[in-house]
């Protein structure tokens, strides 16, 4: 498994890098020895450290864990253990899904939009300038694209989609419902439950 470690505003020394690689490899191999790659990012979150760990274990399956704390190594260990806990919890279902018939995903673009700032003329001006450069209209919405990436909308059952949502620390997930062929969305509710949107007649 290829493991990439990155420090953002944090000096990640050789000893810490080696610890992160060995600790993460041991935690992942214990439950899923066929993982493809992993990314570890250590950054500052106020006065604390923040560790973000993402392990790619198969097509469309990314397991994520994050933690914050006052000690860099302990913070990473906590994030790594959260990844291991998710892999342990879903070990059998992950293997069944990976071994099952593969269906091509629907290519899609994923965007990150900047949050609108009330009563901020400079925000609207910067967005208007971006719109003029791209030639694309925002239909009056005060939101500018600040990041974009390619992704796949996968075909899966609702149960599998819930598994994917729980594996990562995402707030929402779009998928193609294998039973109906319709595009569905799962999202985390403020009460801790998961919402499911299934457009009728789509």
Mark which of 99, 116, 151 sits at the end of a domain.
99
Domain annotation covers residue 137:
yes
Residues 56 and 73 in one domain: yes
pLDDT at 169 over 70: no
**Would you say 53 and 66 are in contact if contact means Cβ atoms under 8 Å apart?**
yes
Residues 163 and 181 in one domain: yes
Q: Round to the nearest angstrom and report the end-to-end CA distance of the chain.
A: 41
Higher pLDDT, 8 or 141: 8
Strand-pairing partners, residue 33, are none
Domain annotation covers residue 136:
yes
Domain annotation covers residue 19:
yes
Please name the residues in contact with 73: beta carbons below 8 A apart, sequence gap of 6 or more. Answer: 16, 19
Residues 27 and 115 in one domain: no
By residue range, what is the domain housing residue 138? Answer: 106-197
Q: Name the pLDDT band for 94 (thresholds 50, 70, 90).
A: low
Query: For residue 42, what is the domain's CATH number?
Result: 3.30.160.100
Residues 111 and 146 in one domain: yes
Q: Which residues of 40-76 are buried (b: 16+ CB within 10 A; e: fewer)?
A: bbbeeeeeebbbbbbbbbbebbbbbbbbebeebbebb
Residues 181 and 114 in one domain: yes
Residues 117 and 191 in one domain: yes
Q: Could you read off the pLDDT of 44-79 as tens digits, one per residue?
A: 988 899 999 998 876 667 888 999 999 999 999 999
**166 — alpha (psi -120 to 50), left (phi > 0) or beta?**
alpha
Residues 38 and 92 in one domain: yes
């Amino acid at each position: 498994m290829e493991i990439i470690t990155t420090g953002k505003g944090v000096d990640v020394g050789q000893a810490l890098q080696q610890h992160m690689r060995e600790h993460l490899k041991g935690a992942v191999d214990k439950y899923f020895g066929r993982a493809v790659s992993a990314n570890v990012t250590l950054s500052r979150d106020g006065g604390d450290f923040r560790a973000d760990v993402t392990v790619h274990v198969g097509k469309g399956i990314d397991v994520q864990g994050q933690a914050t704390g006052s000690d860099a190594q302990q913070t990473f260990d906590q994030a790594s253990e959260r990844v291991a806990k998710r892999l342990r919890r879903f070990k059998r279902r992950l293997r069944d899904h990976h071994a099952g018939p593969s269906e091509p995903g629907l290519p899609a673009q994923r965007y990150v939009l900047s949050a609108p700032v009330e009563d901020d003329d400079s925000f609207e001006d910067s967005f208007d300038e971006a719109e003029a450069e791209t030639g694309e209209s925002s239909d009056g919405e005060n939101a500018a694209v600040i990041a974009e990436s390619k992704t796949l909308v996968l075909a899966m059952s609702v149960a599998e989609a819930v598994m994917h949502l729980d594996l990562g620390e995402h707030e929402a997930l779009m998928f193609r419902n294998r039973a109906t062929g319709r595009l569905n969305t799962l999202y985390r509710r403020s009460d801790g439950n998961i919402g499911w949107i299934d457009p009728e007649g789509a």
